[in-house]
Structures are given as C-alpha cells and as structure tokens.
Amino acid sequence: MMAAIILVCSVVFLLQFFVSYCRSLIAASIKHALSAEVQDVTGIKSSASGEDFARVVQLLQLCPDRPEDRSGVQAIGAYFGLLGFVRSTIARLIPTLRAWTERERGQCTYFAAVTLERRIAFSRDMFAQQLES
C-alpha cells in the first residue's frame, strides 16, 4: 500500500517537475535572438513551428556536441514527444489545449535552433584553436 502511494506521488511529481524543468530550459533560451545564418539554415525567422523540430534536431546531430548541452536537448526531445502524445490524444477534444501544445512545440524547435547556434559557435572556436596551434 505504502509503495503504491509512493509510486503514484512520484509519478505525479515527476511529470510536474519535468514539464516545469523543460519550460525553464525553453524560457532561458527564448530571449536569445537567432543569427541570420542559423535563420537561413533552419528556415526559422520570427516564430518556430513544431513541424520543423525533427529537421533542426537532425542538423544538431551533424555538429559536435558538448556534455553540458546534452541533457537539455534530450529533455526537450522527451518533452516534445510528450507534447506530441497530448496533441494526438486529449488535445483533439480540447481546442485550447491543442493551441497550447502547438505553441509549446514551436518553442521546443526554437530551443533546438538556439542549441544549434551554440554548437556552430563551439565548432568554429575549436577550428580556430586548431588553426592557431
């Protein structure tokens, strides 16, 4: 009985913490303006769409990653999957929820584009350091 209560509480808390954590990652990156170069590569001008997420993640995978960025990208990937699940189930019945999931999915794409920009800058720095040495 005790273990069942702990399990239920843990899963509910986990969902709350996870969603809030992902939204804090997104909120921290949303103020970052994308460079013209990344805007061209990703096709994101002012607002991003959830439909572009997979494509931006593919671009991300082409760049060398940094361990401290990995958790953010994976967490947002899982959050995007969770949003996709909500969108294709409960959100079909509730229009406001559908609009919210669309907005959130777009912000996930924007987060991925900001990470892409950081990775490109990191790769450039590494390349410049190699040239210097």
What does the binding site for other proteins look like in residue numbers (CB under 8 A)? 3-4, 6-7, 9-11, 13-21, 23-25, 27-28, 67-72, 75
- Nearest approach, Cβ of 46 to other proteins (angstroms)? 20
Q: Pick the closest to residue 117 from 44, 27, 49, 21 (CA basis).
A: 44
Please say whether the beta carbons of 42 and 55 come within 8 A.
yes
Please say whether the beta carbons of 112 and 60 come within 8 A.
yes
Q: Pick the closest to residue 80 from 46, 57, 58, 96 (CA basis).
A: 57
- Nearest approach, Cβ of 29 to other proteins (angstroms)? 9
- Nearest approach, Cβ of 47 to other proteins (angstroms)? 17
Q: Name residues whose C-beta falls within 8 Å of residue 92's C-beta, 6 or more positions apart in sequence.
A: 98
Tell me whether residue 43 or residue 78 sits nearer to other proteins (CB atom).
78
Tell me whether residue 8 or residue 54 sits nearer to other proteins (CB atom).
8
Tell me whether residue 18 or residue 39 sits nearer to other proteins (CB atom).
18
- Nearest approach, Cβ of 39 to other proteins (angstroms)? 21
Distances (CA, A) of 47 to 42, 52, 103: 12, 11, 9
Tell me whether residue 15 or residue 126 sits nearer to other proteins (CB atom).
15
